[in-house]
Chain A
Amino acid sequence: MNPHGHDHARSPDAGDAMPSYYEIMETSVRELLVEKQLISAGEIRRMLEVMDSRTPALGSKLVARAWVDPEFRARLLANGRAACEELGISFFEDTQLIVLENTDKIHNLLVCTLCSCYPREILGLPPDWYKLKPYRVRAVKEPRAVLAEFGTVIPDDVEVRVNDSTAMVRYLVLPQRPPHTENFSEEQLASLVTRDAMIGVARATVP
């Protein structure tokens, strides 16, 4: 335990309590790097704004567009990063994006066994369970059991493909468009695309 005996990481609304040892370290490292002109305070502020703008809603928009526009879908599957950039989704890391399409025969699942690589540009920061050991170790060994724990049962005749992310290659799942949505607008379709569907632990919501 740190000398202050409390932990902001676990209780972000500590209010008027002193920041934790690690929060003091974060501020100190950042301020020293700014003083040494290795980075600037403005860069951090702008990066925080960019990060706040990245939520699963961006991914939902991307998927809905791919569902209604076959040409966009083809471009998205051919080069994920370029297709995202068409929709104004910029990348701040030097990474490739591979979009994986779920079909009647293939179900894709994302994991990062080594650490926590995730398509942050499109989905924002990952949920804790994605970074914790049980998901990381079991997703590659018994994906069907893991999926079942999320309430997603994949029939035996559907192949499950587990995609292990790296610092250089990130993935995003293009879920299947749910049935009976022929008359849905693009916006209505986007509302069916959850974060978990784009990680592959769930299907798109059936309306």
Chain B
Amino acid sequence: MTQTENLLQRLPTEMGGLDAGPIQRVEHEYAPWEKRCHALANVLDIHKIISTEEKRRGVESLGSEIDGALTYYERWIVAFANILFQKQLLTPGELAQKMDQVEARWSRDLQKERTERVRA
């Protein structure tokens, strides 16, 4: 079998049975935003907006470079955004604008908290 034929045998996430190093017995406490991301996934699944299979394919289609660089829920939220664009439920422009607003809002809140702390 040639090397390219070999590549066709497996999708990027079809990794069962490959070789790998020792089990990394790591665990972390889920951050609030990670839990919210998971809750969002469950709610989107219930509404049949994004199914579990679509989510997995969405993560797969990010490609191996992004897959290696992002954390688990970072991959999820980027995949959700892409799927919602494809389904024309959101546009990239809308999301960019909203992200600017959210960032500005949080930045303002943070500034306010800091000022209040200095006064107190």
Contacts and interface: CB of A to CB of B under 8 A. Distances in A.
Interface in A6-42: 7-10, 12, 16, 18-20, 22-33, 36, 38-39
Q: Pick from A24, A44, A132 the residue with the most CB of B within 10 Å.
A: A24
Nearest to B18: A137
B35 A48 contact: yes
Interface string B1-23: 00000000000011111111111
Interface string B30-62: 111111111110111111010111001001000
Contacts of B84: 29, 33
Contacts of A117: 52
Contacts of B21: 134
For the complex of A and B, 4 pairs with smallest distance between CB atoms: A113-B16, A12-B31, A167-B52, A47-B39
Interface of B: 13-40, 42-47, 49, 51-53, 56, 59, 70-74, 77-78, 80-81, 84, 89-90, 94-95, 98-99, 101-103, 106-107, 110, 113-114
Question: Which secondary structure characterizes the binding site on chain B?
Answer: helix
Given A136-B15, A137-B16, A149-B23, A25 B31 contact: no
Nearest to B113: A16
A129 interface: yes
A16 B77 contact: no
Q: Pick from B17, B49, B95 the residue with the most CB of A within 10 Å.
A: B17
B107 to A, nearest CB: 7
Contact of A24 (B35, B59, B102): B102
A36 B34 CA distance: 22
Nearest to A28: B98
A161 interface: no
Interface of A: 7-10, 12, 16, 18-20, 22-33, 36, 38-39, 43-44, 47-48, 51-52, 92-94, 111, 113-117, 125, 127-129, 131-141, 146, 149-150, 164, 167
Given A16-B110, A113-B14, A25 B36 contact: no
A25 B22 contact: no
B78 A22 contact: yes
Contact of A39 (B26, B38, B44, B103): B44
Contact of B28 (A31, A128, A135): A128
A38 B106 CA distance: 24
Given A20-B33, A113-B17, 17 more contacts: A9-B74, A27-B102, A29-B80, A31-B102, A38-B47, A44-B43, A48-B35, A93-B42, A113-B14, A114-B14, A128-B26, A134-B21, A135-B24, A141-B16, A149-B22, A150-B25, A167-B56
Contacts of A128: 24, 26-28, 72
A113 B37 contact: no
A25 B78 contact: yes
B81 to A, nearest CB: 6
Nearest to B75: A22
